[in-house]
Amino acid sequence: MSLEIAKTAGEGLGKTLLHCVPPRTESWVLKRGIEKILLTTRYEYPPDFWETIEGYASNSGFVIVQNHTSNADILAGDLLANRITQRVNRVVPEEKKMGGFIEPFALSLPEKGQGEMSKFYSEVLPLINRLRVETNPTPTLNDILNGRIKTYEQFVNSHKESTRRMREAAKKKRKGIVLPAEATVQGGRINPETERIYGMQVFTPGAINQALRMVTKENEHGILIPVGVSAGYKVLNSETNEITLPATMVGLGASKQAIMTVHVGNPIIYRKGDVRNLDSADLDYDIGTTIAQMLEPHERGVYSNREAFDVAIAEYKKKQDKAEAIIEALRSAA
């Protein structure tokens, strides 16, 4: 058994969390106890949410856009996706039934390229599948910057295959899309300058627009559901990806504490003909700020205000330039 004192990845201010979970116990909680953690999670819906979902069920594609501070909040979004699938399929004819959802995951996760994160992925994958969410390995900015993309061929082929799977899922299987738009858990890690989490990070540019285009290919409307998940980092430590002691107690059935809260926003309805005219940058910022307003102030990160966002997007573009240089170097070496 390893014993360590780790900062709570949430409120900071010198608070500590005694992390003392035997590896075998942690593995059991991830495989079986995680369902108890999800069942105790608090979901807050706006008035008439389910009436809107049912009202547009037969001619719409669904996109859930959520913040992402820990891999635990992925599961919270997947449970919402499952509830939407069930609700839609109750009210539509057989040929209109949803096949579930599809969700992009970093390419390196299933390839075991992220250590503890990959271990988490393999442990909870059966649950994700039971929730009728298909995982879609996708090359991310961090995959490129951290050297997880080894060849130009790997980059091109993985990108093409990821896009193909998403389009096919939306078109042929009537699947919605779950989009953890930040594509990193950096927001759940501690900023040493503030002793609080970094909070929301810049959304992957254009990802929301692309998702809406995919789900409206065969549907008259795209229904975007903004979701803010609070305290996912208090279930899985975003620094180490280890399950926390409070989450372990819930997973073992010794506590019924609701650690995470899922704030579900009002569905935003886009007509098929309007999606192609959306400005991707404006869409990313508008949805980001919408989600931020659902969260606690310390969780809002770069979407706290326009100045913070402008600084963050400038830094993000530098990372994009670096990633493009890496891919060009791989192409030249091919």
Per DSSP, the three-state class of 54 is helix
d(CA 115, CA 120): 9
Per DSSP, the three-state class of 139 is coil
d(CA 155, CA 140): 10
- Domain containing residue 118: CATH number: 3.40.1130.10
The set of residues, in sequence order, having a beta carbon less than 8 Å from that of 245 and lying 6+ positions away, is 17, 18, 19, 20, 21
**What range does the domain containing 234 cover?**
4-333
pLDDT at 23: 66
d(CA 219, CA 214): 9
pLDDT at 18: 37
pLDDT of 1 > 50? The answer is: no
Of the candidate ranges 198-207, 243-252, 312-321, the one whose mean pLDDT is the lowest: 243-252
pLDDT of 22 > 80? The answer is: no
d(CA 182, CA 205): 9
- List the beta strands (DSSP E) in the chain: 4-7, 16-19, 42-44, 60-66, 101-106, 133-138, 176-180, 190-191, 196-197, 221-230, 261-264, 268-271
Model confidence band, residue 115 (pLDDT cutoffs 50, 70, 90): low
pLDDT of 248 > 60? The answer is: yes
pLDDT at 239: 87
Instruction: Dump the DSSP string for 165-181.
Output: HHHHHHHHS--EEEEET
pLDDT of 15 > 60? The answer is: no
d(CA 132, CA 83): 10
pLDDT of 17 > 70? The answer is: no
Most confident range, picked from 7-11, 24-28, 195-199: 195-199
Of the candidate ranges 1-5, 37-41, 154-158, 272-276, the one whose mean pLDDT is the lowest: 1-5
For the chain, the domain total comes to: 1
Judging by beta carbons within 10 Å of its beta carbon (0-12, 13-18, 19+), is residue 158 exposed, middle or buried? middle
Of the candidate ranges 10-19, 111-120, 149-158, the one whose mean pLDDT is the lowest: 10-19
Of the candidate ranges 34-38, 197-201, 262-266, the one whose mean pLDDT is the lowest: 34-38
- List the beta strands (DSSP E) in 20-85: 42-44, 60-66
pLDDT at 69: 94
Mean pLDDT for the stretch of residues 52-72: 96
Mean pLDDT for the stretch of residues 52-76: 96
Judging by beta carbons within 10 Å of its beta carbon (0-12, 13-18, 19+), is residue 126 exposed, middle or buried? exposed
Mean pLDDT for the stretch of residues 253-268: 96
Query: What per-residue string of b and e applies to 180-207 under the rule 16 or more CB within 10 Å gives b?
Result: bbbbbbbbbbbeeeeebbbbbbbbbbeb
Mean pLDDT for the stretch of residues 176-205: 95
The encoded tokens of residue 253 equal: 């059935």
